[in-house]
Amino acid sequence: MSNLKFEIKESIIIALQAIISNKIRSFLATLGIIIGVASVITMTTAIRGIDKSFKEGISSLGADNMYIDKFAWFTNEDFFKIRNRPDITLEQVYQYKELAKKPVAVSPESRVFTTVEYGSNNVQVFLTGGDQDYLKTTNFTFASGRFYNDVEAIAGRQVVVLGSEIAENLFNKINPIGKEVKINGIKFKVVGVLAKQGSFILGPFNPDKVVYTPIKNIFKYFSNRRYRTITIVVRAKNSDAIQETQDEAIAVMRRIRGLKYNEDDNFTVNLQEGLQEQYNKTVGIIQIAGVIVTGLSLFVGAIGIMNIMFVSVKERTKEIGIRKALGANRKMIMRQFLIESAFICIFGGLVGLVIAIILSLVINQFLPTSIDISSFFVAIIISLITGVVSGLAPAYQAAKLDPVESLRYE
Amino acid sequence: MKLLEVIDLHKIYKMGLEEVRALDGVSLEIEKNEYVAIMGPSGSGKTTLMNMIGCLDTPTSGRYILNSTDVSLMSDNELAKIRNKEIGFVFQTFNLLPRSHALHNVELPLIYAGVSKEERIERAKEALIAVGLGDRMYHKPNELSGGQRQRVAIARALVNNPSIILADEPTGNLDSRSGEEIMSIFYRLQQAGNTIILVTHEEDIARHAERVIKIRDGKIEKIEKDYQRIIPKI
């Protein structure tokens, strides 16, 4: 056993000597491995980052939510047909609220794209209006202050709750609570700031970038600029209740709209599941592309290693002859070259890992990535496998060399 | 006591359509603790015979019995084991691993024999001291003279206590003084109980042995033993 340990050590020393004495050749040969490992690790950490923030985003919005809307998020139906659907009115929202028994919370939601100012700072945002039940449809957490309360919602007071990025951009280090911001020239008092929800993937719908206010303000001050249709945010009791809540929503809405049995729905109940599916599709494509890139570069890398190992076997024919004369059998020679090729690959893999760490630090500027210890093992295992696979043929060739002929080789 | 026996050994190489009979029915016996020279001009088949005796090659037909074991039908890996345990090679061109120091070169057969590290180093050091290189253990081959390199090679041949030390033109690449040193080491080794087979084309070198087997055209031409044996002075 100590013997095997020594053989491994010796093969590693030989491999190191080979790498050092042929720096450029070794670098070129391992380039494929370096790129392969760097790309697989960068890819997986990036995808993990996207995944994490998507899940966080979904959960801050409420994972069991559905959205009754004029438009469907994902549909194969004719756009013009959907466009001609009637808008959802506030009246219909309250009819639904009264008739629907399944949801735990229901709120109308209406958005206006506008500018929020504080002093000389200003930010463009979606100003989002909801009623007194809006908070119950979310899982928001607060950095400071609170959401607008029932009284403020019902009375339509001029209060706002800021998403974390908005608060940062407008106020920098000042505490925003109690301060007044101007929207469209109208003063609003800040009553709360959300904690960072971290769902960058939702873009402008990311709660970090949204300002919340009672929906009455939207109607009062922005009624000519808002989207005419209203979205009904519905929260199911739990994920098991999503289906029945959706079924009920369709039935109730058809009743409100007075649809006959042979008429199609003129609204859509959008589920977050749909968002998830769409997300999976996109990430799936990225993943497939990643696998192809990684696979190709590892393949090219394996050929590079195989090539350098064939050269190494040829160069060291005499050495192989000597070792055989001294009693090395095929297995021992084979093992020596396999270890050497694996070591060169692991060396390349570690270089690739370093590159991946640097890349992910760069990507981290706009995407939350994190390289963890598992990446290290992934790099080692991938390069080990590549090394062994690409070393097989050269090692076999070395092992079956005839001792007499290889001793004669100069 | 008989150490090895070669019976009607043939080795035929095919060069295109032509057959080359490198060995054509060689039979011989070598006793334990004998000092034998195999002599012949180049192309006589002496190197082929050495390769057979050294278990580097297998015969086309005939038998080779070493230490009462028939090795002529053994597999590659079995032969590797025999070479490791029974044969110690000394080559004309030394054949040391150029990037390893002397001690490591001498250690190599013990690595393949599976000897533990401590014992390996101890035995390799002993062997190097025995050939007078106790102060050169960590020198690499290119830091040693030709004679010193050959002594490292002898230490390597000795280290695993083989049945045969097989030397192929061991003085061929050395000046006469170093050559004489090497021959005196072989002489001492025989005195210590080793069996030595020397392959050479030089009469002067062959005469250090007790018996000279002359080969020509793949056959034993004659065996000489009644001559004035040269005893090295050093």
> Which ipTM was obtained for this model?
0.94
Three state DSSP letters for A86-105: CCCCHHHHHHHHHHCCCCCE
- A325's tokens: 């004369």
Task: Provide CB contacts within 8 A for A244, sequence distance 6+.
Answer: A102
Nearest to B80 among A10, A318, A327 (CB): A327
pLDDT digits (tens, 9 = 90+) for A13-37: 777 777 787 778 888 888 889 998 9
Task: Provide CB contacts within 8 A for B93, sequence distance 6+.
Answer: B173
Per-residue pLDDT, A202:
64
A405 vs chain B: nearest CA distance in angstroms? 10
Distance from CA of residue A185 to its chain's centroid? Answer: 38
Which stretches of chain A sit within 8 Å of chain B by CB? 2-3, 6-7, 10, 14, 17, 318-319, 321-332, 402-404, 407
Q: Is A98 exposed, middle or buried (0-12, 13-18, 19+ CB in 10 A)?
A: exposed
Are B56 and A3 an interchain contact pair (Cβ–Cβ within 8 Å)? no
Are A318 and B95 an interchain contact pair (Cβ–Cβ within 8 Å)? yes
Measure Cα distances from A254 to A99, A246, A258, A264 in Å: 12, 12, 6, 9
Q: Is B1 exposed, middle or buried (0-12, 13-18, 19+ CB in 10 A)?
A: exposed
Contact by Cβ (8 Å): A293, A285? no
Contact by Cβ (8 Å): B54, B199? no
By C-alpha distance, the chain B residue nearest A8 is B111
Residue A374 or residue B109, greater confidence: B109
Highest mean pLDDT among A283-297, A338-352, A391-405: A391-405
Half-sphere exposure of A36 (CA within 13 A, CB side): 32
pLDDT digits (tens, 9 = 90+) for A46-56: 888 888 777 77
CB pairs < 8 Å spanning A and B: 65
Q: Is the pLDDT of residue A61 over 90?
A: no
**Host H or E run for residue A165:** helix A164-171
Which residues in chain B show pLDDT less than 50?
A: none
By C-alpha distance, the chain A residue nearest B86 is A327
Least confident range from A78-82, A179-183, B76-80, B101-105: namely: A78-82
Task: Provide CB contacts within 8 A for B200, sequence distance 6+.
Answer: B37, B38, B39, B169, B171, B172, B206
Q: Is B218 exposed, middle or buried (0-12, 13-18, 19+ CB in 10 A)?
A: buried
- B10's tokens: 């043939």
B88 vs chain A: nearest CA distance in angstroms? 8
Are A404 and B81 an interchain contact pair (Cβ–Cβ within 8 Å)? no
pLDDT band at A212 (very low <50, low <70, confident <90, very high): very high
Q: Is the pLDDT of residue A204 over 70?
A: no
B137 vs chain A: nearest CA distance in angstroms? 18
Are A403 and B57 an interchain contact pair (Cβ–Cβ within 8 Å)? yes
Residue A282 or residue B61, greater confidence: B61
Residues of A in contact with B96 (CB under 8 A): 322
Nearest to A3 among B57, B99, B114 (CB): B114
Per-residue pLDDT, A336:
87
Q: Is the pLDDT of residue A317 over 50?
A: yes
Report the alpha-carbon distance of residue B129 to residue A302 in Å, rounded. Answer: 46
A37 vs chain B: nearest CA distance in angstroms? 32
Are B89 and A325 an interchain contact pair (Cβ–Cβ within 8 Å)? yes
* Among A287, A284, A251, A288, residue whose Cα is nearest residue A267: A251
Apex B40 CA angle, B38 and B41, nearest 5: 150
Nearest to A327 among B57, B99, B112 (CB): B112
Are A328 and B80 an interchain contact pair (Cβ–Cβ within 8 Å)? yes
Per-residue pLDDT, A2:
52
Please list the residues that pair with A125 across neighbouring strands: A114
Nearest to A327 among B51, B83, B116 (CB): B83
By C-alpha distance, the chain A residue nearest B88 is A326
Are A327 and B156 an interchain contact pair (Cβ–Cβ within 8 Å)? no
Residues of B in contact with A332 (CB under 8 A): 112
Report the alpha-carbon distance of residue A177 to residue A167 in Å, rounded. Answer: 10
Residues of B in contact with A7 (CB under 8 A): 111
By C-alpha distance, the chain A residue nearest B83 is A327
Domains and CATH numbers, chain B: 32-44+80-224 (3.40.50.300)
pLDDT digits (tens, 9 = 90+) for A128-147: 999 999 999 888 889 999 99
Which stretches of chain B sit within 8 Å of chain A by CB? 51, 54, 56-57, 76-77, 80-81, 83-85, 89, 91, 95-97, 99, 108-109, 111-117, 156, 160
Taking only Cα atoms into account, the Rg of chain B, rounded to an integer number of angstroms, comes to 17
pLDDT band at A200 (very low <50, low <70, confident <90, very high): low
pLDDT band at A1 (very low <50, low <70, confident <90, very high): very low
Are A17 and B99 an interchain contact pair (Cβ–Cβ within 8 Å)? yes
Residues of A in contact with B85 (CB under 8 A): 327
Tell the residue number behind the tokens 């009553």, with chain if given: A191
**Host H or E run for residue A66:** strand A65-69
pTM score, whole prediction: 0.74
Report the alpha-carbon distance of residue A270 to residue A254 in Å, rounded. Answer: 15
Report the alpha-carbon distance of residue A178 to residue A41 in Å, rounded. Answer: 46
Nearest to A404 among B56, B96, B114 (CB): B56
A50 vs chain B: nearest CA distance in angstroms? 51
Taking only Cα atoms into account, the Rg of chain A, rounded to an integer number of angstroms, comes to 32
pLDDT digits (tens, 9 = 90+) for B65-82: 999 999 988 998 999 999
